[in-house]
Amino acid sequence: MNPVVAIVGRPNVGKSTLMNRIVGRREAIVEERPGVTRDRKEVEASWLDREFTLVDTGGWMAGGDDLDDKVSRQSEKAIKDADVILFVVDSTVGITDDDAKVAALLRQRTEQVILVANKVDDRNHESAVWELMSLGLGEPASISALHGRGTGDMLDRLIALLPEPQPEPEVDEEEDRIISVSLVGRPNVGKSTLFNRLIGEDRAVVHDRPGTTRDAIDTVVESEYGPVRFIDTAGMRRKARIDEDTEYYSLVRALKAADAADVALLVIDSTVGVTHQDQRLAERVDAAGCPVVVLLNKWDLCDAETRADVSDQVGMKLHFVGAAPVIKISALTGKNVTRLWPALADTIESYRTRIPTRRVNDVIRAAQQAQPAPGGARVLYATQGATDPPTFTLFANYELPRTWLRYLERRLREDLELGATPIKVRVRKRSE
């Protein structure tokens, strides 16, 4: 396991900009206003061939509202878990009350803390840095996260504080592959509450204000089915309703997380029902070739009539996801959440399954006997070329009609017991 480096400080001092500078890409959402980052976000980084896990946190604030308190507790948890802490202060503002309070938390671990004076864009700003010595955390590292000034020297100091690397045991890559599960859904349907329930800690900030989660965050959970990486994503809205840059980038990252996932958990608010946006999200995930598990959250808040209506809506409005598992849960109370694990295991097993060539051809042969393709078209031979999802290559004498291909896909799914997992069918004509 790589050592952990946490970036902490009050809002808008440049923590996310520093994270992006260190990893060399726009990993965290950055915007010129306080409070954009709210959750802990982890990414892998390296310097001088030393690898470490970098944790960006929300701004630490004392005396704020309920949401501010939750964000601050995330920062405190990151401080507790970190091997090294980068405490970022805005050198153009000087020491604030919140800076002093964070410093008080950190002084008991001074040997693991680097005080980072950010926004020192040139030599004219360096004189203001020495005021920060009064925080009792040693000599500040003067940097400009935006322009890169001084970040190399700061990283040299960081590397010197990291614990010595431990040799990693050799593992079988196939056996050690981590299942990636993305939580998607409209804003405020309960994704972050479910995320915290699944990982067993308050990792994501949960608040009844829509749009609390701004970025995709993830963590790996050890389960009886092996390691699982859960990804909490920002709530997705129709593009027409996205009227600020932060929400736009949140949407992009949520879609990217869904594209990269092995399984998508589509979280729906049962008290509202299956909305048009829920349909669009399901279609987007299905188009990415990602298997779906539908979670009807807040089921405990629904009366019998509402439950029957929502069940009908799932069948009618989400028919294109086929036999996708549908689980009725309460993320808040934990009711039925444990049913998610065997559903995930079955879905992943189907997603990664490999069918013997003989079996594939037996199914193709039976399907052609039951319903021959029009125009003399025929599949001569078939094989499974890939998994994740199961991908079949058909060698045919002529072009296969699209409608007949859909019939063949359905037969492959049913006869090979692939459940709700997406499948791909590629056709090659004999002359190719």
Range 121-130, long-range pairs (CB < 8 A, 24+ positions): 121/146, 121/147, 121/149, 122/149, 125/91, 125/92, 128/91, 128/92, 128/94, 129/91
pLDDT given at position 242? 43
Same domain assignment for residues 406 and 307: no
Mean of per-residue pLDDT scores for the chain: 78
Same domain assignment for residues 38 and 102: yes
Read off the pLDDT of each residue in 224-243 and give the average, rounded to a whole number. Answer: 63
Residue 241 belongs to domain with CATH number: 3.40.50.300
Same domain assignment for residues 269 and 341: yes
Same domain assignment for residues 105 and 206: no
pLDDT given at position 105? 81
pLDDT in tens, 323-378: 788 999 999 999 999 898 888 888 777 777 888 999 999 999 999 999 998 888 88
Q: What percent of the chain has pLDDT over 70?
A: 75
What single DSSP character describes residue 214?
A: -
pLDDT given at position 277? 82
Kindly tell me if the per-residue pLDDT of 305 is higher than 90. Answer: yes
pLDDT in tens, 117-158: 999 987 776 777 888 888 989 899 999 998 889 999 999 999
pLDDT given at position 322? 65
Would you give the distance in Å from CA 89 to the centre of its chain? Answer: 29
Last residue of a domain, one of 325, 351, 377: 351
Residue 364 belongs to domain with CATH number: 3.30.300.20
Q: What percent of the chain has pLDDT over 90?
A: 19
pLDDT given at position 201? 60
Same domain assignment for residues 255 and 284: yes
Same domain assignment for residues 218 and 245: yes
Kindly tell me if the per-residue pLDDT of 188 is higher than 60. Answer: yes
pLDDT given at position 253? 55
pLDDT in tens, 48-66: 888 898 888 766 655 544 4
Same domain assignment for residues 331 and 182: yes
pLDDT given at position 264? 84
At 258, the pLDDT band (50, 70, 90 cuts) reads low
For the chain, counts of helices (H) and of strands (E): 12, 15
Kindly tell me if the per-residue pLDDT of 47 is higher than 70. Answer: yes
Place of tokens 């999200």: 281
What contacts 170, CB < 8 A, 6 or more positions away?
none
Q: From its phi and psi, is residue 419 left (phi > 0), alpha (psi between -120 and 50) or beta?
A: left
Q: Is residue 168 part of a domain?
A: no
Last residue of a domain, one of 135, 161, 187: 161
Same domain assignment for residues 204 and 330: yes
- pLDDT higher at 94 or 237: 94
The predicted model scores a pTM of 0.51
Same domain assignment for residues 144 and 189: no
- pLDDT higher at 349 or 170: 349
Residue 378: domain span: 357-429
Same domain assignment for residues 283 and 420: no
pLDDT in tens, 275-302: 888 888 788 777 766 788 899 999 999 9
Using alpha carbons only, give the angle 320, 323, 325 rounded to the nearest 5 degrees.
115
pLDDT in tens, 205-214: 434 434 434 3
